[in-house]
Structure 1
Amino acid sequence: MVAIFPLAVLLLLLNSGTVQSTPFPVRVGVVVDMDNYVGKMGLNCITMALSDFYTKHGHYQTRLVLTKRDSKRDVVGAAAAALDLLKNVQVQAIIGPLSSMQAPFMIHLGNKSQVPIITFSASSPSLLSIQSPYFVRAALGDSSQVRAIAAIVQAYGWREVVPIYVDNEFGHGIMPFLADSLEKVNVRIPYRSVIPSFATDDQIVAELSMLMTNQTRVFIVHMRTTLGSRLFSKAKLLEMMSKDYVWIITDGMTNELTSMDQSAIEEYMQGVIGVKPHIPKSEELHKFKVKYKKEIQLQNPTNHDLDLNIFGLWAYDSAVALAMAVEKARIRNATFLKKANDSTTPTDLEGFGVSGIGTELIQALSSTTFRGLAGEFKLVEGQLESPPYQIINVIGAGARAVGYWTNDNGIVREINFAKSTKKTYSTSKSNIGFIMWPGDRKNPPKGWVTPTNGKKLRIGVPVKFRFFEFMHITWNSDNSTKVEGYCKDVFDMVIEALPYGVQYEYVPFATSDHKRAGSYDEFVYAVYQGDFDAAVGDVTIIANRSHFVDFTLPYTESEHRINEDFRGPLWHQVGTIFWFSFSTMVFANKERVISNLSRFLLIIWFLVVLILTQSYTASLTSMLTVQELKPTITDVNELIRNKETVGYHNGSFVLELLKGLNFDKSRLLAYNSPEDMHELFRKGSANGGIAAAFDEIPYVKLFLAKYCSKYIMVGPTYKTDGFGFAFPIGSPLVPDISRAILNVTEGKKMMEIEKKWFENDTKCADSSEFSSSNSLGIESFWGLFMIVGIAGVLALIIYVTSFLYENWHVVRPGSDAETTLATKSLVLVQRFNNKDLTCHTFKNYERRVNHNDCGCDCARIVMEPSNEYFHPSPSTFSQNSPGNNSPPSPISSSP
């Protein structure tokens, strides 16, 4: 018994080894289009992947056994193939299908039978909406690339793009994700161009011709190469592959560029840019590419389709991942579980059971990770994790990389896989290499042109009785109009600064007899009613109007008085005020002055300093006296208590403001022009005129420009946001125009427009013309400074002449023939530096001891620079608070 036991153990071990040496077969179906390049490539890669894998992993106890079916490029054919594999072969997984159109029905079949459906090429994001736990995309969904495309569009500042996509599941699936991504970077999609999957050449030409009539010149093409190559050939025929055009292709075409006819690429697609997943280089990938070409040539020596693209790599990795998952799930004798009513099923669609190992297999597959030929294989929510994307530019017969896009860093020149704690997202075009654009253009196109049939926006403009500087409408004999003014010029400049073209025309807000059609509130309300596409003019941004329209940012300054000497940053202004007040100082010199020439020069300088000091003292006195001038009225409540009559600009919102301040309606008078306001002021409140006027600061400045010596602007001010352009609520133009306003208001063109219409207003609005005529500056004392300069030069000449005369025996010619000129000059310098003992300051020893330097030779003059005082206007006074609003402000007469 003891001897028999080891023998039994040995036989058991041998029997166990025999069992383990026979792998368990696991049936797997493959559904592809056999006559399609991608289908044939994918099938070859799957076969080679299993051969390579089991050669390296011969100890595995499972083996995938492939059963191939041809989907015949048809949705019904793919469904029939899948149904046959599930019912008759009872496969435990299906690799396929190729297209997004074939996938939905197969996914439902896999979900019903609990058999994993693994695709390596169906990329439509909408497939995930089926929410089948048994669907795996061992490839990238089209939604993975939309952020990369949006980053490129943002980098070059294009604000409108037109997608051109195929009219099927593949084409429609990407659109919601692309639209959302573009919207996040403020890019509009004004039109979507949909091309039928079986479109004729005439249909393609008709659609492209229509696109040529619109202004947008940035196109995003999302389709496969079979249709895409035809699209670009017709675009070339219509001269749309020329300058001003931008063509961006998705990875639906970039992934297959290597399989396209190279002559077609050179002829039709030059300058196209696109994105495709980045495939890291590896030794395994290089070896497989070489092996793949050899294998294809052995199968068919006349076959020229030897190029391997990313779909083949994904097919290879799919097969490897499935083989690893089957082994990980420890599948043995996999069978289908028959349904209870299976024998009575009326149709073949229900004539299959449920996989007994489907749940374990899908769980193992979802957790499988490894480094494949296409990069890291890792499934996230049922599909491959998004890798970096490569930005390519089509030049010649192929494409070259010009940059990359990553989730964390945006657009980068090179990919740095080193882990970094600092993540900065960039969309700078400086990180993109040189791009040759269509038409051999080296500079990026602006992305739009003036459309040939675009609808013109109707821009409403107000009819003004006066204040024509802001807006002025002139009717011609043929009833056409000419619009001029500050507001019109600013709007034209802002529209010109937009990154795309806008066609528009000015339409007066007027009656048939060329009169104003209503108040400014009614003018704004006309935009709300759809009579105008926008309102341009001296329209103030106030709260009640914002209920009906969207305003752009204000384009006028408000609340800040215009004086160029006191503009700038806050601390600069404060520093300027104190500098004018305390910079002048006069003090006596502590050094003794002995030289008569120095004394002469100092006498002249002291005379100049005395004049300067006295002049500025008088100027300061005058300034302080002016500041004591007070307006006759400074309080709104005083106007109400005394029942004074006040004026307001006719048609302005100020009328409602005054009513809100409890002014009696009978005490309110309207004026239409600066002349009307002046006349009302001249009459006075007691004689049918006004005691004060309330108006917006831009109008006040114009008024003071004409009558600034008689009136003064006082507070308090009531805040508004200045003048703005009004658009319908939700208009996409509002943010773009607001950004353009910020850009142009700080430029030189804005200053030129202001100078054109208000050239003399800023000076008189602060009465600087009065102060400048009486104020003192450096130029007022040029004569005194010239006298000081002449005296200084004269003293120098006299001293040098006297010194040379006294030492002429040293430098005169012939005094010493052997002495050179350089030696004589050195002696002369030494004599100048030595003490002059003949000077009266060295006549006795004590004075020689007390004074080491000869006062006859040198004198020290200490001078302090003079400063100017700023003189404010003698006729205006403002109590403005800081800000950028354009409020109305009361005006009253100065005493």
Structure 2
Amino acid sequence: MADKHSTSTNVFLVMFLLLLFTVNAKTTSAASVTRSRVQIITSNTSVIGAVMDMTSRAGKEARVAMEIAIDHFNAKTSLNVTFYTRNSNGNLFGAIHEATYLINRHKVEAFLGLQTMEEVLSVGEIGSKSQIPTFSLLDSVPQWALDRFPFLFQASPSQFNQMKAFVAIMESCRWNSFTFIYEDINSASTEIIHHLMEIIKDSSVQMNNMVKLSPLVSSSSSLLEELERINMDQCRVFLVHASLKTGVRLFQNAKDKGMMEKGYVWITTNLITDLLHTLNSSTFLTMEGVVGIGSFFADTSSQFHDFSSKFQKRFKLEQPDEENNMPGIFAVQAYDATWIAALALSEKNMSAKKLVDTVSSISLTGITGELRFVNRRSTASHRYHIVNIIGKYYRELGFWSEGLGFSEVVNDRASYDISLQNLGHIFWPGRPLHTPRGWAIPTSISPLRVGVPTMTVFKKFVEVKYDHMHHNYTCIGYSIELFKETVKRLPYYLSYEFIPFNGSYDSLVEQVYLKKFDAVVGDVSVVSRRYQYAEFTHPYTETGLMMVVPVISYHEQWLFVKPFTLGMWALTIVIYIYNGFVLWLIERKHSPELQGSALNQAGILLCLAFTRIFSLDGDQLNNNLTRMITVAWFFVAIIVGQCYTASLTSMLTIRRLAPKVADYETLKNANAAVGYGRGAHVASYLVDVLGFKNENIRSFTSPEEYAHALQNKEIAAVFLEAPFSKLFLAKYCKSFIVAATFGEGGFAFVLPKGSFMVTDFTKALLNVSESGTLQNIEKRMLGSEHCVDMDSIHDEYGRLGLSSFWSLFILTGGTSTIALAVHVITTLRHHFR
């Protein structure tokens, strides 16, 4: 918007100066203007005027091309187009004066030329007020200018899409950072910055630095200062968007500075690439290795060859000082624009508004391809030449087409590929055998300040050791080793130093926002509220928050009665006694052994109910009814016994690993105390999300404290991040178990908000993981934990011991002892009678 307003101010200033040049035009009456329009309508002759800087190569080529276009048009049609050219000499006021002259003197019906933004705005306003179509050869006319001046057309296709070709080169070569060097020629030269920023926003490419070169101060000394400054950085990929004159001076100074050697990458936009054909061999030597992105046109067509032949002959006669007579993009665009203007004027008896509509409806196959206007703007180009300067010349590598990629053959869709290698070998500066890496270790750079937490609970992830003898810190642990390995795989050099921080993890992350640290490495969890201070890489650990609780202890007394409920036991006993009673009642009169005293009969009944069913066969039964009862009873006894056996087996194997508490709601409702690691974000999660009371949460500083508190029932559960719970359970594998899991982001590296290194670190982390290095580091740093219960004498879970069945042994032993005592007493009593 600033450029727009400043340009608008310039327009008003220009119009004021225009009054000084058009005194005679202003004294002309409205009637004379009307007569001039009548003269055009009734004449078979159309008049086209061109205003351009004919001291520049672009202006020289455009003039010759326009003259050839007029000759071709007149020869192929029955019309007669008169063509007048005026030289602005690159001066804004000269352009205004010459445009006014063409209107007043030659009554031109259309304007051509206007290769700078200032010329477009000034002459465009003159043309619109006079209702004369104005065709600009500038490829970046802003939309607001087209809206303001209804007779203004952008006749050259926009070249902004060349930034997409540049990003494609960057991504193909795996360069993620570049320095943009541009010349502040006019307001149009800065328009490309907006498009460049929009394109790289959706890519992995980042702009490392932006250097503005002013034409007024682009001397060798100032260029050397700029080159020295950017050479101190590690980025070695440079995109140059400058005029040919400034670009040549820039490369001459870069060569003197040693910046055209191996390791450097220089890429030019169309401002330089489109004029490479005008340079001499000595200039090419200073630019060896440069890759250029240039405007595309089909230089193999018969139409171009016919045009080129005529152009070279005429250009050599009119411009004998120019070494090269080949036409470039400026010539072919001027040729096509002239044809469009001539075609529009060929239809007579049209109003000015109708004339504008006619231009917008023209569709022409020119040298540059299919030409048509959308909203008075020539459709944008989507294809570009890719060239490479080698020694004393340059060669065309191939083409880049939007949506297709790179190819050596322009019209073969099957030959396109997203890789720049599809164009063959490229000679970069210094002619290296391989593609430069795009960065180098700078001569002076401050190391990255990396904050490391000291309040760590699990030292295997991060541990800060202080050497009292040498008074320095040493940082070790899984996170530290992983960070070092990740840095090695970054696409650029990165020096760093670890700085211990004694505070909470939230405070540690906030130090990045306060610019006290450039990064944070450690067991730092990805938490949403921390994003207000920094950004995180992809997590390098498992995600989740675990609730760890003790396992159920099954060594309590009377374990053998656990498989059945009380109701089941009662029904089983009642059925057994009932069956025995029926069996005894029916069989007692047939079996003498079932008879006797009442006490004897009661004993026989109980014995029959619980033992005889397994020892009494069918031949001992004298009644078919009792035989039927026995069969059914035996069948039920087998099923009940098998179910009991299976249930007890399940309790002694699978269910021994069940948690004592299955969910956190039970703990919360019971007002139980829970634990967490000191300094972690878990405390706020327990209170704010899970709803625990502040007085019921306890902080601990080591795994041993966790285990002791759980075993002594000081806390009912401990909440640990997934990596910590993995270590904790590896050590206490027989005593504790995960009861519940909650969503949590895992551990990640912390970087400043908006830092381009976030993407680089994430890519490098993935590379570490995919290469298997991450698993090796994890095995080496975290895989040495052994279960402390492994060889314990208290391994009550591994085998069935006395602790679960001592009551049974007391019951049977006590019964035997009592029976023995009764027998001894009875025997002694009979003996002493």
CA 1:496–1:425: 2 relative to 1, 3 Å:
farther
Moved more, 623-632 or 265-274: 623-632
2:319 matches 1:323: no
Correspondent of 2:405 among 410, 427, 430: 410
| Bigger fraction of residues in helix | 2
2:668 matches 1:677: no
Aligned to 1:495: 487
What are the equivalent positions in structure 2 for 1:365-384 lying under 5 Å apart?
365-384=359-378
Superposition CA RMSD, Å: 3.3
State the distance in 1 between where 2:751 and 2:321 align.
Answer: 66
2:679 matches 1:654: no
Aligned to 2:500: 508
State the distance in 1 between where 2:531 and 2:200 align.
Answer: 28
Give 3-state SS (helix, strand or coil) of 1:253's partner.
Answer: helix
CA displacement 1:770-797 (0-9 Å, x = unmatched): 89xx9xxxxxxxxxxxxxxxxxxxxxxx
CA 1:371–1:67: 2 relative to 1, 3 Å:
same
Give 3-state SS (helix, strand or coil) of 1:186's partner.
Answer: coil
Aligned to 2:253: 234
The AA in structure 1 aligned to 2:542 is E
CA 1:408–1:655: 2 relative to 1, 3 Å:
closer
Q: How far did 1:548 drift?
A: 4.2
Moved more, 314-323 or 469-478: 469-478
CA 1:273–1:52: 2 relative to 1, 3 Å:
closer
Correspondent of 1:84 among 87, 101, 124: 101
Q: How far did 1:125 drift?
A: 4.5
State the distance in 1 between where 2:651 and 2:409 align.
Answer: 67
Q: Is the 8 A contact 2:544 2:721 kept in 1?
A: no
Give 3-state SS (helix, strand or coil) of 2:676's partner.
Answer: strand
State the distance in 2 between where 1:874 and 1:462 align.
Answer: 40
2:523 matches 1:538: yes
2:511 matches 1:526: yes
CA 1:538–1:329: 2 relative to 1, 3 Å:
farther
Correspondent of 1:93 among 102, 107, 110: 110
Q: How far did 1:265 drift?
A: 0.7
Q: How far did 1:64 drift?
A: 2.0
State the distance in 2 between where 1:179 and 1:632 align.
Answer: 56
CA 1:480–1:358: 2 relative to 1, 3 Å:
farther
How many residue pairs get aligned? The number is 649
Aligned to 1:609: none
Aligned to 1:482: 474
Give 3-state SS (helix, strand or coil) of 2:194's partner.
Answer: helix
Q: Is the 8 A contact 1:280 1:375 kept in 2?
A: no
Aligned to 1:143: 160
CA displacement 1:863-889 (0-9 Å, x = unmatched): xxxxxxxxxx969xxxxxxxxxxxxxx
2:73 matches 1:73: no
Q: How far did 1:482 drift?
A: 2.2
State the distance in 2 between where 1:639 and 1:321 align.
Answer: 83
Q: How far did 1:289 drift?
A: 1.6
Give 3-state SS (helix, strand or coil) of 1:359's partner.
Answer: helix
Give 3-state SS (helix, strand or coil) of 1:182's partner.
Answer: helix
Q: Is the 8 A contact 2:399 2:408 kept in 1?
A: yes
Correspondent of 1:152 among 165, 169, 179: 169
State the distance in 1 between where 2:257 and 2:288 align.
Answer: 13
The AA in structure 2 aligned to 1:263 is S
Aligned to 2:581: none
State the distance in 2 between where 1:507 and 1:495 align.
Answer: 17
2:194 matches 1:176: yes
Q: Is the 8 A contact 1:770 1:874 kept in 2?
A: no
Aligned to 1:852: none
Q: How far did 1:253 drift?
A: 1.1
State the distance in 2 between where 1:366 and 1:461 align.
Answer: 65
Q: How far did 1:309 drift?
A: 1.0
Q: Is the 8 A contact 2:178 2:206 kept in 1?
A: yes
State the distance in 1 between where 2:439 and 2:264 align.
Answer: 8
2:438 matches 1:447: yes
Give 3-state SS (helix, strand or coil) of 1:715's partner.
Answer: strand
Aligned to 2:559: none
State the distance in 2 between where 1:662 and 1:388 align.
Answer: 61
Correspondent of 2:537 among 525, 547, 552: 552
Q: How far did 1:365 drift?
A: 2.4
Give 3-state SS (helix, strand or coil) of 2:198's partner.
Answer: helix
The AA in structure 2 aligned to 1:473 is V
CA 1:293–1:630: 2 relative to 1, 3 Å:
closer
Correspondent of 2:656 among 629, 644, 657: 629
State the distance in 2 between where 1:83 and 1:724 align.
Answer: 67
State the distance in 2 between where 1:144 and 1:632 align.
Answer: 63
CA 1:269–1:362: 2 relative to 1, 3 Å:
farther
Q: Is the 8 A contact 2:240 2:266 kept in 1?
A: yes
Give 3-state SS (helix, strand or coil) of 1:652's partner.
Answer: coil
Q: How far did 1:210 drift?
A: 0.8
Q: How far did 1:625 drift?
A: 4.9
CA displacement 1:14-40 (0-9 Å, x = unmatched): xxxxx99x9622222221223322222
Correspondent of 1:209 among 218, 228, 240: 228
State the distance in 1 between where 2:681 and 2:372 align.
Answer: 64
State the distance in 2 between where 1:630 and 1:329 align.
Answer: 96
Q: How far did 1:262 drift?
A: 2.0
Q: Is the 8 A contact 1:408 1:425 kept in 2?
A: no
The AA in structure 2 aligned to 1:123 is D
The AA in structure 1 aligned to 2:213 is I
Aligned to 1:391: 386
State the distance in 2 between where 1:759 and 1:321 align.
Answer: 76
CA 1:558–1:32: 2 relative to 1, 3 Å:
closer
State the distance in 2 between where 1:254 and 1:293 align.
Answer: 20
Q: Is the 8 A contact 1:272 1:438 kept in 2?
A: no
2:719 matches 1:724: no
Q: Is the 8 A contact 2:254 2:260 kept in 1?
A: yes
Give 3-state SS (helix, strand or coil) of 1:174's partner.
Answer: helix
Give 3-state SS (helix, strand or coil) of 2:761's partner.
Answer: helix
Give 3-state SS (helix, strand or coil) of 2:190's partner.
Answer: helix
Q: Is the 8 A contact 1:125 1:142 kept in 2?
A: no
2:454 matches 1:460: no
State the distance in 2 between where 1:399 and 1:127 align.
Answer: 36
State the distance in 1 between where 2:334 and 2:239 align.
Answer: 27
Q: Is the 8 A contact 1:149 1:275 kept in 2?
A: no
Q: How far did 1:249 drift?
A: 0.8
Q: How far did 1:175 drift?
A: 1.1
Aligned to 2:212: 194
Give 3-state SS (helix, strand or coil) of 2:85's partner.
Answer: strand
2:62 matches 1:46: no
Correspondent of 1:702 among 715, 727, 738: 727
Aligned to 2:769: 745
Correspondent of 1:185 among 184, 194, 203: 203
Q: Is the 8 A contact 1:391 1:403 kept in 2?
A: yes
The AA in structure 2 aligned to 1:556 is T
State the distance in 2 between where 1:101 and 1:503 align.
Answer: 47
What are the ranges of 5 or more consecutive residues in structure 2 without an aligned counterpart? 1-38, 547-647, 800-833
The AA in structure 1 aligned to 2:703 is P
The alignment's TM-score, normalised by the length of structure 2, stands at 0.71
Aligned to 1:712: 736
2:133 matches 1:116: yes
Give 3-state SS (helix, strand or coil) of 2:452's partner.
Answer: strand
CA displacement 1:458-509 (0-9 Å, x = unmatched): 3221103552211112334565432222112222333333334444432221
Give 3-state SS (helix, strand or coil) of 2:294's partner.
Answer: strand
Q: How far did 1:641 drift?
A: 5.9
Aligned to 1:126: 142
State the distance in 2 between where 1:369 and 1:311 align.
Answer: 20
Q: How far did 1:413 drift?
A: 4.3
Q: How far did 1:189 drift?
A: 1.6
Give 3-state SS (helix, strand or coil) of 2:277's partner.
Answer: helix
